Structure 1
Amino acid sequence: MTKFANYISEAFQELKANVTWPEWAEVQRLTIVVALFSVIFALLTYGVDQLFVKALEGFFNILK
């Protein structure tokens, strides 16, 4: 158990001393970029899904 506590302690020390954290403005800007990309990707996925739905409906209507 001592090894685990030591590991956690050293991990926090490394986070405090060696990690360079971004500025708040950069965090906000990158969050907006990720949110916009997620919305665009979701819309593209929806569009491709609808395209496949229409294609399959057309294919099965031909088979009737």
Structure 2
Amino acid sequence: MIKKNNFFLEIYSEFFHNISWPKWRDLKYLTILVFFFSIFLSIFLYSVDNIFIFLIKKIFSI
């Protein structure tokens, strides 16, 4: 039982005293950056996929 309590106390201490949390402004900026990068990447991959589909159809339709 003592080991369990000690374990949870160490978790609490680690969580609240040793972790450096990002500032709210940085968090918003990075969230927006990830959002737009994800949108860009999905559009890019969709385009590349369509180009490959088009090329494969042209090659095998001869």
Q: How does the TM-score come out when normalised to structure 1?
A: 0.81
Q: Deviations over 1:36-63 (max 9, x none)?
A: 110111011001100000001101111x
Q: Take 1:2 and 1:57, find their aligned partners in 2: how far apart are those partners?
A: 68
Partner of 1:14: 14
Structure 1 unaligned regions, length at least 5 = none
Q: Percent identity?
A: 34
Q: Where has structure 1 moved over 4 Å in runs of 4 or more?
A: 1-5
Q: Take 1:49 and 1:4, find their aligned partners in 2: how far apart are those partners?
A: 53
Equivalenced residue count is 62
Q: Deviations over 1:5-40 (max 9, x none)?
A: 543432222010011111111100000000011011
Partner of 2:38: 38
CA RMSD across the alignment: 1.7
Q: Take 2:2 and 2:60, find their aligned partners in 1: how far apart are those partners?
A: 66
Distance 1:4 1:47, change over 3 A: farther
Q: How does the TM-score come out when normalised to structure 2?
A: 0.83
Partner of 2:27: 27
Distance 1:15 1:60, change over 3 A: same
